[in-house]
Amino acid sequence: MRLLGYTRVSTTSQDPQLQLDALVSAGVEQRDIFSDVVSGSRKAVDRPAMNHLLDYAASGDTVVVWRVDRLGRSLIDVLNTVNDLQDKGIKIRSIQDGIDPATTTGKLMLNMLATLAEYERELITERVNAGIAAAKQAGTQFGRPPVNPDVIAEKLAVATEARSKGKTAAEAAKLVGWSRATLYRHTKQSDE
């Protein structure tokens, strides 16, 4: 009858300390906390620490999470994870949400919170896409800035001359601040 914790943050710039502190306060031993640094868009079974937790947990154990959305981003993934755990006789507890999916009310709350979390993420995606569209309409250029063809021609001439004097492609490319692949690409483009 162990308490096992699970934390997830999407990027290394995010700090899981809030989740870790909550799990320890809930009685989970530090050694029994499994942590992923991976986007929630990846299914739970595709996350390394979640996989380890699923292999480690046994019937009678309780998996404790800070919030139910740490289990996954989509309702389907959260529910699949909860069902997988429950099928193995493993309980789930969400600290922040106060959810116990072993009860009818807990199942209802789990479904509602997972649905609301998915809805919120979709709204964020819509806002980001609208912002990108507005920026493009306002003339913002995305991606690499265009390179002046005269600069490319000058660098190509320097690299070609260096090659004719016995330098390797890598050495010639380095002279002009390119990689060998960039030199080959520009050489090919100038031959066309």
Measured between its terminal Cα atoms, the distance across the chain in Å is: 70
Mean pLDDT of 4-8: 93
* Residue 125 in domain: no
Instruction: Determine, yes or no, domain membership for 78.
Output: yes
User: How far, in Å, CA of 191 to CA of 157, rounded?
Assistant: 13
Q: What is the pLDDT of residue 40?
A: 65
Number of domains forming the structure of the chain: 2
Residues 10 and 87 in one domain: yes
3-state SS assignment for residue 104: helix
| pLDDT at position 53 over 80 | yes
User: Which tens digits make up the pLDDT trace of 143-171?
Assistant: 888 888 899 999 999 999 999 999 999 99
Is residue 10 flagged as an active site residue? Answer: yes
For residues 22 and 110, state if they share a domain. Answer: yes
Does 92 share its domain with 174?
Answer: no
Across the range 68-93, mean pLDDT stands at 83
- Could you tell me if 89 and 158 lie in one domain? no
Give the residue from 85, 73, 86, 19 showing the smallest Cα distance to 43. Answer: 73
* Residue among 10, 25, 74, 190 flagged as catalytic: 10
Answer yes or no: do 14 and 85 share one domain.
Answer: yes
Q: Are residues 110 and 158 in the same domain?
A: no
The answer on pLDDT for 41 being more than 80 is: no
Note the pTM of the prediction, 2 decimals: 0.57
Same domain for 155 and 84: no
Domain containing residue 81: CATH number: 3.40.50.1390
H or E segment and range at residue 36: strand 33-37
> What percentage of residues in the chain have a pLDDT greater than 90?
45
Q: Please, which pLDDT band fits residue 135 given cuts at 50, 70 and 90?
A: very high
Q: Are residues 156 and 85 in the same domain?
A: no
Mean pLDDT of 170-180: 93
Range of the domain at 93: 3-119
Question: 64 and 24 in one domain?
Answer: yes
Mean pLDDT in residue range 185-191: 85
